[in-house]
Amino acid sequence: MLLQQLINGLTLGGVYALIALGYTMVYGILELINFAHGEIYMLGAYLGIIFLGLFTVTGLTSVSLPLALFLTILLTIIVCSAYGFTMEKIAYKPLRNAPRLSPLISAIGVSIFLQNYVMLTQGATDKVFPQRFGDSGLQFLNVNMTYLQALIIIVSGVLMLSLHLFIQKTRMGKAMRATAQDKTMASLVGINVNSIISATFIIGAGLAAVAGIMVASYYGLVNYYIGYIAGIKAFTAAVLGGIGNIPGAMLGGIILGLVESAGAAYISSEYKDAYAFIILIVILLIKPAGILGKTTEEKV
Amino acid sequence: MLNLSSIQTSYGHIKALKGIDIEVEKDEIICLIGSNGAGKTTTLLTISGILKPDSGDITFEGESLKNMPPHTVVNKGICQVPEGRRIFPRLTVLENLEMGAYSLNFKSQTSNFKNNIEKVFSLFPVLKERTKQMGGTLSGGEQQMLAIGRALMANPKLLLLDEPSLGLAPIMVSKIFKTIKEINEEGVTILLVEQNAKAALRLSNRGYVLENEVIKLSGTGENLLHNEDVKKAYLGE
């Protein structure tokens, strides 16, 4: 029972972590809570259905299912990243030097726009994500882990590890960290701050796109408002780990997933969505900077 | 090499520079002195493209910098060590130096990068012992050395230094001034902004005195050191 909840929690937590990364990366650089980020995840889920449907109709899924799935994920990432990139250019960049409340309001505007845009183009009723895995899976120690769960855990783990290495080791990753710490100085060493910001939105949107496809196939149903609750939960995960802190978002997401599935199993599944907010309240009371968040100290 | 003509810059509605003319020739050390709020930092930020001038023109090796974004100005060979040093506090010393070389598109293993970093380490041996330490944990003097080292990583033709001696112990101040001289002898042109007017004028070929957002005086370092007005206002004699 405990092990089963651990697996369920990791599945959910991996997905929350992927979305939380987008929040935390954007916050780290722009100090902006991108409230429209959850909608990118929702778009990812819809695009997953559309592309997979397209490949089913054209017969690619019966030729090679792995190839069809790979192409679905790849195309979804590309389109969602384009949405993320465009969102920043239209809604946030013109407000770069505006008071901090303005981009926040703009973010809420983008969020409402994207929800309604999807509702109008895709309809207000639930869409079914084509099930490709069934309920088959691995049985061990009285535990049932579906192949889909295994896939979600592995994919989110690999993506988080790659992102971590990218941020820590590559030239662009280091430039991202430098930009997050001091934008003016970053431009004085020759970093094009605008491209770094664009890259941040593109990467965040790509991760959310993957999360969208995975959740849609996990739960099987998609609606235009799923981005809202997932976004709020991922935001909670980011705050829990320490907003602006990348390993923090990963940790926060996994903890949130574990708490939610344990809560649903041992306390009550009715309150499944409430646990995230209880955590948010507790963390804000006890350690507002988050688990890995540090209150910054700088020498003068 | 660098030419500022009638540069006017403002912060919102407040004019911070009211028509500045400065000329820097290759291989010179030029200093800009003046009291707080005279517009020294504004001048450097305008050259680097952080602030946009309202009117006038800036040319570097014949090319106008006026509408260039800051990262392009760096690519042209102008690097700035800004006021307050602005070390990336949560990057290591080595990463700070790597960011200094960002405009050169070096891979950390290439020989160019190694050459530059060896040059920086020979100027400031203490940095070599601290490569893995976070920039924010260095002392003020070490941060100043790192800030200068970071700027040198880009192979600048012109180095802009904003108050490099500010807040440092006297022994550190003289070390920094000695190093500036060494850097200049290696072929880097220097534009120095300083409150420590005496030391700056001694070091410089020529100087400009900035007062109330305009250039009030200019001349060789030697002449300005003996100018009565400069003595009274900036040298405390």
Which residues in chain A touch residue B107, judged by CB atoms under 8 angstroms apart?
171
What was the pLDDT predicted at B112? 79
Which residues in chain A touch residue B139, judged by CB atoms under 8 angstroms apart?
299
Residue B89 pLDDT > 90, yes or no? yes
Which residues in chain B touch residue A177, judged by CB atoms under 8 angstroms apart?
88, 90-91, 95
CA distances from B33 to A44, B23, B216, B218 (A): 58, 15, 10, 10
Q: CB distance A181–B71 less than 8 Å?
A: no
Beta bridge partners of B191: B30, B160
**What is the per-residue pLDDT across A20-29, written as a single tens digit (0 to 9) for each?**
999 999 999 9
* CB-nearest partner of B70 from A187, A296, A298: A187
| Fold of domain A2-286 | ABC transporter involved in vitamin B12 uptake, BtuC (1.10.3470)
What's the pTM? 0.91
**How big is the A-B interface in CB pairs under 8 Å?**
77
Give the list of residues 6+ apart from residue A162 with CB closer than 8 angstroms, or none.
none
* CB-nearest partner of B86 from A177, A182, A296: A182
CA dihedral A73, A75, A80, A81 (to 10 degrees): 100
Please tell me the distance from the alpha carbon of residue A115 to that of residue A110, in angstroms, as a whole number: 9
Which residues in chain B touch residue A191, judged by CB atoms under 8 angstroms apart?
71, 99, 102
**What is the per-residue pLDDT across A41-68, written as a single tens digit (0 to 9) for each?**
999 999 999 999 999 888 888 888 889 9
What was the pLDDT predicted at A291? 86
Q: CB distance A189–B103 less than 8 Å?
A: yes
CB-based contact, A177 to chain B, within 8 Å: yes
pLDDT band at residue B136, thresholds of 50, 70 and 90? very high
Q: CB distance B102–A181 less than 8 Å?
A: no
**Do B54 and B213 contact (CB within 8 A), yes or no?**
no
Please tell me the distance from the alpha carbon of residue A235 to that of residue A277, in angstroms, as a whole number: 10
What was the pLDDT predicted at A141? 76
Residue type (1 letter), B55:
S
* CB-nearest partner of B48 from A178, A188, A191: A188
What was the pLDDT predicted at A18? 95
**Nearest residue to B218 via CA among B30, B46, B42:** B30
Residue A298 pLDDT > 50, yes or no? no
CB-based contact, A29 to chain B, within 8 Å: no
Residue to test with chain B: of A169, A184, A185, most B Cβ within 10 A: A185
Total Cβ atoms within 10 A of residue B153 = 24
pLDDT band at residue B108, thresholds of 50, 70 and 90? low
**Nearest residue to B46 via CA among B5, B100, B86, B85:** B5
**Is residue A100 helix, strand or coil?**
coil
Beta bridge partners of A222: A127
Q: CB distance A189–B91 less than 8 Å?
A: no
What was the pLDDT predicted at A179? 95
**What is the per-residue pLDDT across A135-185, written as a single tens digit (0 to 9) for each?**
677 777 778 888 889 999 999 999 999 999 999 999 999 999 999 999 999
- Of A2 and A21, the structure prediction assigns the larger pLDDT to A21
**Do A209 and A44 contact (CB within 8 A), yes or no?**
yes
- Select the highest-mean-pLDDT range: A133-147, B37-51, B204-218, B219-233: B37-51
What was the pLDDT predicted at B106? 53
What was the pLDDT predicted at A132? 65
What was the pLDDT predicted at A300? 42
Residue A81 pLDDT > 70, yes or no? yes
Residue in B closest to A178 by C-alpha: B88
Which residues in chain B touch residue A186, judged by CB atoms under 8 angstroms apart?
99
Which residues in chain B touch residue A187, judged by CB atoms under 8 angstroms apart?
49-50, 69-71
CB-based contact, A169 to chain B, within 8 Å: no
What was the pLDDT predicted at A46? 95
Q: CB distance A185–B167 less than 8 Å?
A: no
CA-based nearest distance B80→chain A, Å: 7
Please tell me the distance from the alpha carbon of residue B38 to that of residue B81, in angstroms, as a whole number: 19
Which residues in chain B touch residue A175, judged by CB atoms under 8 angstroms apart?
99, 102
**Nearest residue to A174 via CA among B75, B216, B88:** B88
Overall average pLDDT of the A218-241 stretch: 91
Which residues in chain A touch residue B150, judged by CB atoms under 8 angstroms apart?
189
**What is the per-residue pLDDT across A261-297, written as a single tens digit (0 to 9) for each?**
999 888 888 888 888 888 888 888 988 888 887 665 4
pLDDT band at residue B124, thresholds of 50, 70 and 90? very high
Which tokens sit at A190?
């020759």
Rg (CA), chain B: 17
What was the pLDDT predicted at B190? 96
**What is the per-residue pLDDT across B168-217, written as a single tens digit (0 to 9) for each?**
888 889 999 999 999 999 999 999 999 888 889 989 999 999 888 888 88
What does the domain layout of chain A look like in residue ranges? 2-286
* CB-nearest partner of B50 from A178, A184, A192: A184
A44 — alpha (psi -120 to 50), left (phi > 0) or beta?
alpha
- Of B49 and B212, the structure prediction assigns the larger pLDDT to B49
